[in-house]
Structure 1
Amino acid sequence: MKTFTPKPADLTHDWYVIDATDVVLGRLATQAAILLRGKNKPTYAPHADSGNHVIIINADKIALTGNKMGKELYSHSGRPGGLRRDSYAELLEKNPERIIKNAVKGMLPKNRLAKVQLDRLRIFRGAEHPHTPQKPQVFEIAQVSQQAK
């Protein structure tokens, strides 16, 4: 059986917008990663860049389940003493975009395509975004948090 390789003319990068209001972080990240990789297309090939552009709005209204408010997000600058620890509760107020980007990054493959695919992710705190001329399609995530009801 031959490996399917899409032709460059077949690789289109569509635009999708996802509303993160009351959506659980993990469910949002998995759906965004699927769209970024292009797995929703029939021309998907893991070695070809057939991903889409994803816009996530209302990032500050995301639902964190379990005990995530008490946990911390770690990052390191690579320099001595460069460990940075930020709690999820603090990040949800100051920089909710970082929480979502880190979750989506963890669900992408660890290869060269991941950086290109992650660059197509755009996260906004409010409901407004500057990408309306691209006419993004609304991608609905059906299951919302039970805590929000």
Structure 2
Amino acid sequence: MPTYIKNYNITKADLRPKWHVIDANGQTLGRLSSEIATLLQGKHKPSYAHNLLTGDFVVVINGDKFKVTGNKLLSKKYYRHSGYIGGLTEQTMEEMLDKFPERVITQSVKGMLPKNKLGRKMLLRLKVYAGDQHPHEAQIKESNNLVQEVAEVKPKAEAKPKAEAKPKAEAKPEAEAKPKAEDINLAGLTIPKLKELATSRGLTIPSKARKADIIEMISKAE
């Protein structure tokens, strides 16, 4: 039996985003960023599609209390340029945490998202806050209380493959009908031809038979 693969089409219910709250207190920056990037892209859902915005919103609290390994607070540097000559500005992670603590996690997650228009839309769904308070309580409550109504669609019965038609038996060619003596001008045939015609009809012709006798024998046999 052949195997049929059913394609899955994404519905509007699959594109409805949820809200997640993550506490960054005491978590490693790299592992935390990887988890956030997965939620933003929607890779935790069975309905994930790389060309659609299937991810969720992520709210990060205590965004300045994560931990890093090694000497990254001093060795990790961030660069920005004003566009003018000599306008390059360099900051270490420690300096960035003092001035803009939310940007460290944002920059880390940005490097794990697609570098295109879709990736920029995903990054807009990331909300990072230095303290333990955030202004998204209403959205999170609505997301938790939202009941997704998915219509149960019964799958259609798979069409059975049609049986292959058996080739028709070739019709046997009909035996050619022997011409009757009436349709043949016996008088115009030679004696050898008359004897051959008589033999084909099962007649025995004497060797010294005359032409008229052979014609008479053939006519009587018909």
Q: What's the TM-score, normalizing by structure 1?
A: 0.83
CA distance in structure 1 between the aligned counterparts of 2:23 and 2:93, rounded to whole angstroms: 20
CA distance in structure 1 between the aligned counterparts of 2:78 and 2:7, rounded to whole angstroms: 39
- Residue 24 of structure 1 corresponds to 28
Pick one of 69, 87, 91 that aligns with 1:86: 91
- Residue 122 of structure 2 corresponds to 117
- Residue 7 of structure 1 corresponds to 11
C-alpha offsets along residues 35-89 of structure 1, whole Å, 9 cap, x if unaligned?
0001111100101110100000001111121111112112234443332211111
CA distance in structure 2 between the aligned counterparts of 1:45 and 1:103, rounded to whole angstroms: 23
Runs of 4+ with >4 A deviation: 1-5
CA distance in structure 2 between the aligned counterparts of 1:28 and 1:109, rounded to whole angstroms: 18
**Structure 1 unmatched runs, 5+:** 138-149
CA distance in structure 2 between the aligned counterparts of 1:77 and 1:54, rounded to whole angstroms: 30
CA RMSD of aligned residues (A): 2.0
Change (3 A) 1:44 1:91: same
- Residue 146 of structure 1 corresponds to none
Percent identity of paired positions between Structure 1 and Structure 2: 46
Secondary structure of the residue that 1:73 maps to in structure 2? strand
Pick one of 57, 70, 73 that aligns with 1:69: 73
- Residue 140 of structure 1 corresponds to none
Secondary structure of the residue that 1:16 maps to in structure 2? strand
Deviates more, 1:15-24 or 1:85-94: 85-94
Equivalenced residue count is 137
Change (3 A) 1:45 1:70: same
- Residue 45 of structure 1 corresponds to 49
C-alpha offsets along residues 121-143 of structure 1, whole Å, 9 cap, x if unaligned?
00000000000112268xxxxxx
- Give matches, 1:92-131, under 5 Å: 92-131=97-136
CA distance in structure 2 between the aligned counterparts of 1:54 and 1:111, rounded to whole angstroms: 20
Rg comparison, structure with higher value:
2
Change (3 A) 1:5 1:96: farther
Deviates more, 1:77-86 or 1:119-128: 77-86
Secondary structure of the residue that 1:8 maps to in structure 2? coil
C-alpha offsets along residues 4-61 of structure 1, whole Å, 9 cap, x if unaligned?
5523342111000100001111011100000000111110010111010000000111
Pick one of 135, 140, 147 that aligns with 2:140: 135
Q: What's the TM-score, normalizing by structure 2?
A: 0.57
